[in-house]
Structure 1
Amino acid sequence: MPSFRQYFPILVWGRDYDKSALSNDLIAAVIVTIMLIPQSLAYALLAGLPPEAGIYASIAPILLYAVFGTSRALAVGPVAVVSLLTASAVGQVAEQGTAGYVVATLTLAFLSGSFLVLMGVLKLGFIANFLSHPVIAGFITASGILIATSQIKHILGIRAEGHTLPEMLYSIALRLGEVNWITLLIGASATGFLFWARKHLKQTLHGMGTPPLLADILNKAGPVAAVVTTTVVVWGFDLAEKGVKIVGEVPQGLPPLTMPGFAPDLIGALLVPAILISIIGFVESVSVAQTLAAKRRQRIDPDQELIGLGAANLGAAFTGGYPVTGGFARSVVNFDAGAETPAAGAFTAIGLALAAVALTPLVYYLPIATLAATIIVAVLSLVDLSILKKTWTYSHADFIAVAATILLTLGLGVEIGVASGVILSVVLHLYKTSRPHVAEVGLVPGTQHFRNIDRHNVQTDPRLVSLRVDESLYFVNARFLEDLIQKRVTEGCAIKHVVLMFSAVNMVDYSALESLEAINHRLKDMGVGLHLSEVKGPVMDRLQRSDFIDEMNGKIFLSQYEAWANLTAGAQQGAADTGQGDQLRCGA
């Protein structure tokens, strides 16, 4: 039974559900529903789909996540980055506005959901760790810029094309003479209001004496106010006849049952984008979920999160939606509004279903420019160019990764950008670990502690070299250690012993084992003993499976101090030296 509950977290939190949780979840659901109605319509537009697809993608996926997900506050649905990735991927195989385009988005959601569930069942959540945070930050920043730029054409009321920043800017510049000034007025007004509402509306409402809960609801309803006002203006002045593009007829009703396409060519074309979308969506979702869970001393299960997100995407595939994940903004709103369980998401889904049934006729005259304004205001919060300064100050290698990801995403498109980000993350890891930090250490006088001879005044013995290896040893860095030891023992010193301090070594792979064997043979030929100290249990277990320990020209010591005491015993008092840096090396 415990294993069954593991795959159905609803059975865990559902048994303790009470009236207090119900009340808090309902309040949170009202606030999030108000926020999601215009946002879902807008993100569907960004994905190149009819507006109702955004609503559909926010109903069944939320309900399924409530059953299978482990986060108490994560709000699942369409998000800006995944919407952009969807448009980019599907745009390669079908033309927007066609039935083939819709089928392709359903297939993309199906492939993404299947991949996520498979990863969850196989406990492969760690795969997401191959994307470093700087690379993710760079990709999201570049995506935010691309998304905002892609919506400028709707604010201006012009036709513009392109998937990269240069293409979009060039296309917009060519058509500036075609600007619809009424559309520009509506779009600019909506954008300005939404920016003002995000920063100042809540404070203004508090100043007017509005109760905190009502002020919070009204603040989150800022986009709804923009939608209602601009829709009424377009309808009242018949601006659609003057060139203002509107949403038009939106099907009224619950999400339909749909079927993804299973043509081999279609699956082959969308498989890699689906994997990239899955990993990016999972990284974004699990980061938000872990952050919010920590605030309430709760925990999430990343592998079960994969299953929950996978189920949500499968639900989207069969109910007219497109790929979804946990959104940062709506999850924070859900959390701040007091959501206690995933039931808040289920109530949100019910609210959106009611909106799909009863409210869709009311958005007929909703101007596309208002949805574009909603997207621009939402995604610009994702843009964080300060990551460039931070990484430059802290690590030039990370700066290169961030800058390259941003430039590649802006210049070549999101798919190449995210693929490059994955490759850069792996290359960065390999680069950083290919030259591990190896410190020559000495004894701190009067203690049993050993520190870097270039940083501290320590006691050394010219016949003994103690090297602390600060990285696990594997095929990438094994030869580096060989070369370093070879160089050190051939400096002309009367070295008799080399001790490798393994306190920071968590793994020695077979390539590194062969390097250790080569080091041992070379030192033995030179009449130098090779010793190990502070070897961790799992590492020792691996070494004992080989002949290395039996053939080693030295001993294994429990502690570095024990190695020091044994190997320097009987040494002349004058052979030891106390100093710092170059004073400690023979021949200095």
Structure 2
Amino acid sequence: MPDWILAYQKNLFSGDLTAGLIVTVMLIPQSLAYAMLAGLPPEMGLYASLLPIIAYALLGSSMTLATGPVAVISLMTASALAPLAQPGSAQYIELAIQMALISGVMLLVFGVLRLGFLAHLLSHPVISGFISGSAILISIGQLKHMLGVQASGNNIIATLLDLARHLPQTNLLTLLIGSSSLLFLWWSRRYLSAALEKAGVSSRLAGMLSKLAPMLSVICFTVIVYVFKLDTQYGVSIAGHVPQGLPILSLNLPGLNAIGALWLPALLISLVGFVESVSVAQSLALKRKERIKPNRELIGLGAANIASAISGGYPVTGGFARSVVNFSAGANTPLAGIISALLMAVVIAFFTELFYYLPQAVLAATIISAVTALVDWHSLKAAWQYDRADAFSLLTTMLGVILLGVEAGILFGIALSLAVLVWRSSRPHMAVLGRVPNTEHYRNIERHDVQTVPGLVALRIDESLFFANAAAVEQKIMALINTNPDAKNMLLVCSAVNQIDATALEMLDQLEKSLAARDIQLYFAEIKGPIMDRLKNTPLGKRMKNKIFLSVHEAFLQLN
């Protein structure tokens, strides 16, 4: 049994019940909308909001994370499956279910192997760029539903050109409904909470009620379409029949061909979903001084995706907006999620016919309103002011997603993250040291007023030594020797060196021999224990046995 169940107290129930009710009202329109975004029937969004929530509640580590369909994963699902089958077809649905299963198994295996460190594979700028690019891509993809036209394209440029060609066929009533819904959602997000507070509602309750604007929009426009018969009289596209009844549980195992086609997109979905989910869970846990266990998160999300596949859903993860609402509404434990899942079961079993007249333009407005808040211009501006390399990573990842697609974009982002890491490591900061007068402190001669020892060059290397920077370090050392013709001793200060790989070891070995041929002695100072353990059994280590100092101060005293 999970720890939160064993330690559950009665005073926690009211908060969990309130959060469960509010999140359910928010989850219904989002589930329908995100299923449409994924190219799937609307009921699959509802199915993906049922058992996955319970599975995560029993196995995950976050007390407030709300799992289920999310915009980015829905877009990635559509992007992966569109080349394989016709959206909405039986084969397409089957592949979506199988991808959830493959993703779930991957996450489960990663959790068993304790690979929670994968959460750090993608840097924040790359994740921000990916989500921002996906949000822009999603918004443009929903314009056809807002206009009431049929438009498609293999990339964003083709989609925009096709939209422009179909612009004269715009259904003006559909555009009016979608625009009105979008305007109402925008106003609600910015001003509804303040308006309710002015009316005497508490700030907390006003904040929660403002989150329910999507459901209010769905109810109002559904009633309008039903009363005035806008679907038959004016051609307004509606959700149509949503099957009533709980999903039939089954396990649809993929064949070898399906696994071959789905493993890479499933891996990317697993990675992005895990990183996004852990980021949200950690940010919320910090507010309550709770802890998130990444390996448990892998197992919880893996179980959620397997549960989604068994119940006819598609890939899921922890959602930012719902999790924040769940937290703000007073959720104390995952029981809030279980309550939400039970309420969703009631809706699926008895009330799905109420969604028949729901306009697709309203679902599109719901999606656009949700994802535009994910475009992170603030992070781009902050990165540009602080570190241009991070800003470049963010911007190029965003453009990669927009122009090349989500899969190519995220692969490009991963490659870019690793490239930036290698590039930075290949240009290590190195400083020539001198002694601060009358102290045992040694600082950069270019930044401080320090004393040096004639014939001694002391160089601090502020990076681990490996294949990417070995040549740069050697060049720096030889440049210092050439500019100091009286140098007799070369001291390498290794206080910031955590590792020396085989390439760097070979460089140091050849460097020691080259310097010795010029009657210059090589010395080390402040080498860390793990490196010493490996170095002492090497030819270089044996030659340097009596040339390694515990501190820079000791080296300066003896080499003076």
TM-score, normalisation: structure 1 = 0.93
2:348 aligned residue: 356
**Equivalent of 1:147 in 138, 141, 163:** 138
Shift of residue 492, structure 1, vs aligned partner? 4.5
**Equivalent of 1:48 in 39, 51, 55:** 39
**Equivalent of 2:321 in 312, 318, 329:** 329
**Equivalent of 1:375 in 358, 367, 380:** 367
For residues 359-414 of structure 1, what are the alpha-carbon distances to aligned partners after superposition, in whole Å with 9 as ceiling and x for unaligned? 21111100000000000000000012343333332222223222221222111111
2:159 aligned residue: 168
AA of the residue aligned to 1:232: V
Shift of residue 128, structure 1, vs aligned partner? 3.3
Tell me if structure 2 keeps the 8 A contact 1:520–1:553: no
1:129 aligned residue: 120
The CA RMSD measured in Å over matched residues stands at 1.4
AA of the residue aligned to 1:98: S
Shift of residue 127, structure 1, vs aligned partner? 2.6
For residues 327-371 of structure 1, what are the alpha-carbon distances to aligned partners after superposition, in whole Å with 9 as ceiling and x for unaligned? 111111111111111111111111111111122111110000000
Tell me if structure 1 keeps the 8 A contact 2:208–2:328: no
AA of the residue aligned to 2:397: T
Rounded to whole Å, the distance in 1 between the matches of 2:129 and 2:202 is 40
Shift of residue 31, structure 1, vs aligned partner? 1.1
The 5 A counterparts of 1:135-214 are: 135-211=126-202, 214=205
Shift of residue 306, structure 1, vs aligned partner? 0.7
Tell me if structure 2 keeps the 8 A contact 1:478–1:515: yes
1:491 aligned residue: 483
2:239 aligned residue: 247
1:117 aligned residue: 108
Rounded to whole Å, the distance in 1 between the matches of 2:47 and 2:478 is 65
**Equivalent of 1:465 in 457, 469, 491:** 457
The reply to whether residue 87 of structure 1 matches residue 78 of structure 2 is: yes
Shift of residue 326, structure 1, vs aligned partner? 0.7
**Equivalent of 1:97 in 81, 88, 91:** 88
Rounded to whole Å, the distance in 2 between the matches of 1:420 and 1:199 is 35
**Equivalent of 1:276 in 247, 268, 281:** 268
Tell me if structure 2 keeps the 8 A contact 1:46–1:87: yes
Rounded to whole Å, the distance in 1 between the matches of 2:353 and 2:545 is 84
1:442 aligned residue: 434
Secondary structure of residue in 1 paired with 2:483: coil
Rounded to whole Å, the distance in 1 between the matches of 2:149 and 2:430 is 60
The reply to whether residue 238 of structure 1 matches residue 229 of structure 2 is: yes
AA of the residue aligned to 2:518: M
For residues 158-217 of structure 1, what are the alpha-carbon distances to aligned partners after superposition, in whole Å with 9 as ceiling and x for unaligned? 111125321221111110000001101110000000111111112211221235565344
Tell me if structure 1 keeps the 8 A contact 2:119–2:278: no
**Equivalent of 1:411 in 399, 403, 407:** 403
The reply to whether residue 39 of structure 1 matches residue 20 of structure 2 is: no
**Equivalent of 2:67 in 55, 76, 91:** 76
Rounded to whole Å, the distance in 2 between the matches of 1:271 and 1:229 is 42
Shift of residue 261, structure 1, vs aligned partner? 4.5
For residues 515-567 of structure 1, what are the alpha-carbon distances to aligned partners after superposition, in whole Å with 9 as ceiling and x for unaligned? 22122111222211211111222222222242322112851111111111111
AA of the residue aligned to 1:348: S
Secondary structure of residue in 2 paired with 1:498: strand
2:331 aligned residue: 339
The reply to whether residue 60 of structure 1 matches residue 44 of structure 2 is: no
The reply to whether residue 265 of structure 1 matches residue 257 of structure 2 is: yes
AA of the residue aligned to 1:126: F
Rounded to whole Å, the distance in 2 between the matches of 1:29 and 1:103 is 30
Q: How many residues align?
A: 559
Cα 1:278–1:545 shift into 2, 3 Å:
farther
Rounded to whole Å, the distance in 1 between the matches of 2:163 and 2:2 is 53
The 5 A counterparts of 1:494-573 are: 494-552=486-544, 555-568=547-560
Tell me if structure 1 keeps the 8 A contact 2:55–2:307: yes
Rounded to whole Å, the distance in 2 between the matches of 1:553 and 1:523 is 17
TM-score, normalisation: structure 2 = 0.97
Gap runs ≥5 in structure 2: none
AA of the residue aligned to 1:437: H
Gap runs ≥5 in structure 1: 1-9, 569-588
Rounded to whole Å, the distance in 1 between the matches of 2:7 and 2:534 is 46
AA of the residue aligned to 1:66: A
Secondary structure of residue in 2 paired with 1:460: coil
Rounded to whole Å, the distance in 2 between the matches of 1:454 and 1:301 is 44
Secondary structure of residue in 2 paired with 1:96: coil
AA of the residue aligned to 2:123: S
Rounded to whole Å, the distance in 1 between the matches of 2:91 and 2:138 is 23
1:572 aligned residue: none
Percentage identity across paired residues of the two chains: 50
Tell me if structure 2 keeps the 8 A contact 1:120–1:305: yes
1:313 aligned residue: 305
